[in-house]
Amino acid sequence: MAPRRTGLPRRQRLIGLWLLLSGISLFGGAVFAAWLDSQLAPEGLARLMLWLGCLSGGTTIFLVGLLLERQLFSPLRHLQVQLARMVANPDAREDYPPEGWLRGLGPDLVTIRDAWRCDRGALATAHAEGARSAARIRQELEALLQVLDTPLLLCDHHRRLLLYNQAAETLFDTQPGFGLGKRLETLLPAASLRDVLAHLPADGSPREVLVPSDHRWLRVMLRRVPASDGETLLTLTDTTAAWTSELGARAKLLDTLPELRRHTASLTTATDALTSLSYTGDSAAMRKRLEQVVGDESHALGLSIERLGTLLELMQHEGERLVPLWSNDLWAALDERTGDTACRVQPVGMPAWFKGDAIALISLLAALLERLGEHTGQAMLEGELCLGNKRVYLDLIWTGKPVSERQLAEWQQLSLQDLPLAPRLVDVLRQHASELWSLADPDGQRARLRLPLPATQRVGAPQPRTPPRPEFHDFGIAELPAPDAHLAACPLRALEVVAFDTETTGLELRRGDTVISIGACRIVNARLLASETFDMFVDPARPIPPASTAIHGLTDDDVAGAPPLAVALPRFCDYIGDAVILAHNAAFDLLALQPPGVNVTLNMPVLDTLLISRALDASLDGHDLDTLADRYGLTFPPGTRHTALGDARVTAELWLSLLPRLEARGIETLEQALALQASALDKQDAFAS
């Protein structure tokens, strides 16, 4: 939300001056004619000529101004708008064909446009084969990145991200500084990682390093891409669970072994001494003491063995292969495994999450289905997930009687030959801290085989796979200037730009109005990254007036529970990183984001599309976001106007439309763009918002 500026645009001031001069001339001529009429007292034709002569000056000024406005000035403005559209986009719509005294330029303008389009078509045809091949490779790469479950990153020699996959995006989903062109240090702040990067072999030999990330430990495998300009591929593995196991249950297990050895040695010594004693004299007292030692050591040994069993069970629970599984996925995989066998499963009930080793569970269930099919004589069983307090119960249901304990004991000794080392069913059950039992349903008609499994805290169905999108990679980032290069001399197309907008409780920022929403999107390598966005509500700590809600649609309920500005602003700064920021009428948004009491300063360079548009087209009226969007053929998707993210997206698209016009004026660096927009600071526009 931005305030309206006061004052009249230049065109309206010129029209006012023209009408004022015409009025003064007519009034002066009328006064002069009345004086001459009273002095000379002419009659007839002489009197008519007197009045016409005195009023001719004002009338001429009015008619000449009107003629110039209709035949020259208005056509010139329309031609300027059309040329601005053509520079930004040669395929822009033709709303303003040349008219008035410029009508003769119509064929020439059409010729220029057609020649421009013809040249672009020839270039497109010339590059069609290469583009088609590149598109196929890009699609295959994006599809590969989508399905690859191992998080991977590719960075250039400046440690900027050139490529990542969806697994990496999921791994760093809480990092606002994650995205193409971002520095690796914002994700993995470890000095050891930088040292390894500096000394990686050029032949692609791998190096490993363990680095912290939030509350996790990541094992990072680094390889220098051979025959590249210092690009490095990183594959990441979350080793938190493995280290917890290594330093938790396994470490305690190793600590238990010396106790077992000590108790065993004491028992052996006491037993040997007992066998060598006779039953005479002082030997009875010694025997009693040795028997006491044997009893104490036996008890201690029993406790140690009990702790050993507990630790072994804990290690099984912490097994790295026990991962969250969605029951529908398990049933589908089991159906593919069993195929057209004699017994299959029909899932019933609500799906749920649980933890398990998918491969081992599918093998176990396939073996049980084979036995249940033989036992019950039924070709279709039902499968159901039932939620308990701390466990999830996987049930196989059939019509008939439960399976006996003896039969279950025999089944649990079956070997699963399709798994490594051919474990028994009971081994897989032990891996999941589980067991098998069979029970009858309350109706007495059906029975079920129950398998309890570890529960997980995940809720809700799995999120659908995100379709491939082009923001996963941009190898052109490697050709951009170094991040520490002098920013003022950086080319505009090489800038990393964050376009942002705010919505507020009102326009009186110096009287208590404040931010309620921040939206932003990133432009990297002159490309808008559609999905790397920032969109956050902010608690204003005051009611939102109905007049403001009528504009942006936000109510007190929408911002309830949102973080205050003091919390939201540092997150926004993390999203910005080292980028230049961009806004429309940036002064208002910057004032909104930096009220008194907030100790975060946005001290990076600021580009303002309002000022840049004014500087480029000082003679045109209207530089508000709606007018400029219409001028450059940009559209707001339904419901996004006056939303922070929606306005930020259109501001970013407007910047990309202004880029060709800036370059046509010789404005190619950030320093030149800032100087150009500074020249428009003193201009007024009644429609800027």
- Domain CATH for 310: 3.30.450.20
Instruction: Let me know if residue 142 belongs to a domain.
Output: no
Residue 128 covered by a domain: no
> Which amino acid is it at 458?
R
Place 337 in a pLDDT band, splitting at 50, 70 and 90: confident
Region 116-121: mean pLDDT is: 74
Residues 446 and 315 in one domain: no
The predicted structure's pLDDT at residue 283: 67
User: Which residue among 280, 299, 320 closes a domain?
Assistant: 320
The whole-number average pLDDT for the span 320-333 is 82
Residues 401, 297, single domain; the answer is no
Cα 63 to Cα 22, 58, 219, distances in angstroms: 9, 9, 81
Same domain flag for 221 and 316? yes
453: three-class secondary structure by DSSP = strand
345 and 307 part of one domain: no
Residue 329 above 50 pLDDT? yes
Q: Which of 25-34, 126-135, 654-663 has the highest mean pLDDT?
A: 654-663
Q: What is the mean pLDDT of residues 293-300?
A: 72
Q: Does 257 have pLDDT greater than 90?
A: no
Q: What is the pLDDT of residues 386-417, one digit of tens each?
A: 888 778 999 999 999 999 999 999 999 999 88
Phi/psi at 34 (5° precision): -65, -35
The answer as to whether 209 is a domain residue is: yes
- Look at residue 686 in the predicted model and tell me its pLDDT: 34
Q: At what angle do helices 240-247 and 249-276 cross, to 10 degrees?
A: 20
* Structural domain contains residue 387: yes
pLDDT at 4: 45
**pLDDT-derived band of residue 193, with 50, 70 and 90 as boundaries?**
confident
Q: Using an 8 Å Cβ cutoff, are 670 and 605 in contact?
A: yes
pLDDT for residue 6: 47
CATH number (domain holding residue 363): 3.30.565.10
Question: Residue 464 corresponds to which tokens in the numbers above?
Answer: 């659908």
pLDDT at 688: 40
Residue 459 lies in a domain: no
- Cβ 312 vs Cβ 248: under 8 Å: no
Question: Are residues 487 and 610 located together in one domain of the fold?
Answer: yes
Supply the pLDDT for residue 255: 62
Average pLDDT in the chain:
80
Q: Is residue 353 part of a domain?
A: yes
User: Which range has the worst mean pLDDT, 270-284, 497-511, 594-608?
Assistant: 270-284
Question: Tokens 């329309």, residue?
Answer: 78
Q: For the chain, how many structural domains are there in total? A: 4
* Residue that wins the pLDDT comparison between 256 and 664: 664
- pLDDT, mean of residues 601-610: 89
Percent of the chain with pLDDT over 90: 20
Provide the pLDDT confidence category of residue 158 given band limits of 50, 70 and 90. confident
List b or e across 285-298, with b for residues whose CB sees 16 or more CB atoms inside 10 angstroms.
Answer: eeeeebeebbeebe
Q: Are residues 159 and 199 in the same domain?
A: yes
Proportion of the chain above pLDDT 70, given as a percent: 81
Indicate the pairing of strand 497-504 with strand 580-583: parallel
166 assigned to some structural domain? yes
Residues 218 and 163 reside in one and the same domain? yes
State yes or no: pLDDT of 91 exceeds 70: no
Per the model's pLDDT, the better-predicted residue between 585 and 245 turns out to be 585
Tokens of 502: 């705010």
- pLDDT at residue 151 tops 60: yes
* pLDDT, tens digit (0-9, with 9 covering 90-100), for 432-489: 888 899 999 988 899 999 999 988 877 677 766 555 455 566 666 666 666 666 788 8
pLDDT at 270 over 90: no
Query: pLDDT value at position 247?
Result: 46
Strands 380-387 and 344-348: parallel
* Per-residue pLDDT, 312: 60
Give the containing element (helix H, strand E) for 399. strand 391-399
Are residues 570 and 442 part of one domain?
Answer: no
Task: Yes or no: say if 661 and 648 are a contact pair by the CB < 8 Å rule.
Answer: no
pLDDT for position 687: 37
**Region 193-212: what's the mean pLDDT?**
81
pLDDT of residue 689: 43
Query: 354 and 232 share a domain?
Result: no
What is the CATH number for 541? 3.30.420.10
376 pLDDT exceeds 50? yes
pLDDT at residue 190, rounded to an integer = 66
Note whether 535 and 662 are same-domain residues.
yes
Residue 135 has pLDDT above 80, yes or no: no
Report how far apart the first and last C-alpha atoms of the chain are (Å, whole number). 8
Which of the listed residues 435, 454, 473 is the one where a domain comes to its end?
Answer: 454
Same domain, 372 and 515: no
Judge whether 569 lies within some domain. Answer: yes
Count each helix (H run) and each strand (E run) in the chain, helices first: 22, 17
Of 621, 620, 629, 679, the residue nearest 650 (C-alpha): 629
Q: Among 276, 297, 320, which residue terminates a domain? A: 320
Mean pLDDT computed over 263-274 = 68
Residues 27 and 51 in one domain: yes
pLDDT in tens, 14-58: 777 777 888 888 888 888 878 887 888 788 788 888 788 887 887
Owning domain of residue 57: 11-88
Q: What is the pLDDT of residues 615-627, one digit of tens each?
A: 888 878 788 999 9
